């Protein structure tokens, strides 16, 4: 409906876990895929948070996660 917030996941049709599958089985293939991540884009509340497989805050998140792991294991 126009003017409403949207949550979307866009999958890569060329990803190896999806090739040869009919679109009706893509969600199952995505959930159980073992060959990487077929997600290309994600929209949450009408805002793109993942574009071309990368989260806008990915680097900072990875840095904080590594710091938390170091702290937990020290």
Query: Which residues, 6 or more positions from 11, have their beta carbon under 8 angstroms from its beta carbon?
Result: 18, 26, 30, 38, 39, 40
- Global pTM reads 0.66
Residue 28 has pLDDT above 80, yes or no: yes
Predicted confidence at residue 50, as pLDDT, reads 94
Residue 7 has pLDDT above 80, yes or no: yes
Looking at per-residue confidence, does 2 or 13 come out higher?
13
* Residue ranges per structural domain of the chain: 8-73
What are 33-61's pLDDT values in tens digits? 767 888 899 999 989 999 999 998 999 99
When pLDDT is averaged across residues 17-38 and rounded to a whole number, the result is 85
Q: What is the DSSP letter of 59?
A: H
How would you class 9 by CB atoms within 10 Å of its CB: exposed for 0-12, middle for 13-18, buried for 19 or more? Answer: middle
């Amino acid at each position: 409906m126009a003017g409403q917030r949207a949550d979307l996941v866009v999958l890569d049709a060329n990803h190896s876990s999806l090739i040869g599958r009919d679109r009706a089985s893509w969600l199952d293939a995505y959930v159980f895929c073992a060959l990487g991540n077929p997600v290309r884009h994600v929209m949450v509340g009408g805002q793109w948070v993942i574009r071309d497989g990368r989260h806008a805050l990915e680097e900072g998140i990875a840095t904080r996660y590594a710091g938390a792991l170091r702290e937990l294991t020290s």
